[in-house]
Amino acid sequence: MTLTAVDITGYRSVRAIHFPVRQLSVLVGANGVGKTNLYRALELVHAAATGTLAEDIASQGGLGSVFWAGERKASETPRLTLSVSLDDIGGGPRDYAVELGFAPSYEVEIGFRAPATAAFPLEAQIKAERLTLKGGARPTVLMERKQGMAWARDAEGRRVVADENLLSNETALFALRGYPEIDAVRETLAAWRFFHGFRTDAGSPLRQPGLAVTSPLLAANGANLAAVFATLRHIREDSVDLDTAIDDAFPGAVLDVPLPEQNSSFSLTFPDMPKRAFGAAELSDGTLQFLALMGALLSYRLPPLIALNEPESSLHPELLPALARVIAKAAQRTQIWVVTHSTILSDAIAAETGILPREVIRKDGGTWLKGLNTIGTFADDD
């Protein structure tokens, strides 16, 4: 299932926005326009599927920090609503893809604690959830939750009241199991991967030896980067794209990935010092950051969506065209979402793919996309 549209209401600098999403979406904008808030909102949808929504909001400063930051009416209750629409491309239940056109839409609404609710005073509470199947004569609600009560449709299409004792900070999307459509959507959203810079200090996981374990995907903190490289080189036995990308960025450089024994590791050899291999602990911050992005975008297996927030951070501008080429290649295998303030990167991606970036701007005090109309479409879309 691919992401086709995003709807955000009441999140930080975003008053309300609905916009379509492409196979490769590039959002570019200046500092302070709220482009990272679009990325973070999508990350919260992922958290709803993994069961960590309340924790993620708490880590962002709590409800007071995530609600719409602009003016509101005195009588208006603060609420945050996130909604995503998905289109089946074969990853979900095939019967529904053939018979109904399995195009689910998931929505979650978050607010403050209601009276007599078992929760901390400022803890994020799930007010409502809905999973809708858009197909056939009219949309079909597959799951709905209001406050602590939830129901879902069983295999025969009957409403079944969930017997799970949902806490007010738990999402029904995460808690309800055994319903094929709900399971398919949850697994898809939970499989999304988000990368917002990698630590490159001396204690960074990137600089440490990794476990000798086959790793088809890069971890969020990059701790298994060496194992991801080793999986490509020794398990898949195909690291051509990786080697090409490194030579593109660092002409003449060679990535050495020994067969893991107790640990996994890698090093780079540069043409001006051919007898000296530089291990992860010695590489510059920018070089290590670039290698981590290669691990995220060229791994043995890619998640259904990769979201990159300001991937140009720590990179020399000369590396950005090489990064753009790898992003373009990865977009042939999976859906990519890039948020950047670098016009060099966005222009390079456009040159590689023909896909123009969307400019993130401020409009009426809130985050908006240039060219987006009030019904949530772009005039230049096909």
pTM attached to this predicted model: 0.92
Q: Is pLDDT of 95 > 70? A: no
> Is position 312 within any domain?
no
> Is position 108 within any domain?
yes
Provide the residue type at 250 as one letter: F
At residue 73 the predicted structure's pLDDT band, cuts being 50, 70 and 90, is confident
Q: Is pLDDT of 184 > 80? A: yes
Q: Is pLDDT of 298 > 60? A: yes
Please, what sign has the CA dihedral across residues 320, 303, 89, 150?
negative
What is the average per-residue pLDDT within 87-99? 38
> Is position 310 within any domain?
no
Predicted confidence (pLDDT) per residue in 309-321, tens digit? 999 999 999 999 9
What is the structure's pLDDT at 71? 85
> Is position 276 within any domain?
no
> Is position 270 within any domain?
no
> Is position 50 within any domain?
yes
Q: Is pLDDT of 19 > 90? A: yes
Per the structure, the complete domain to which residue 184 belongs is given by: 1-192+356-381
- How many domains, in total, are found in the chain? 1
| Nearest Cα to Cα of residue 165 among 150, 153, 179 | 150
> Is position 123 within any domain?
yes
What is the structure's pLDDT at 116? 46
> Is position 120 within any domain?
yes
Q: What is the dihedral of CA 12, 10, 306, 324, to 10 degrees?
A: -60
What is the structure's pLDDT at 64? 84
What CATH number should be reported for the domain holding residue 122? 3.40.50
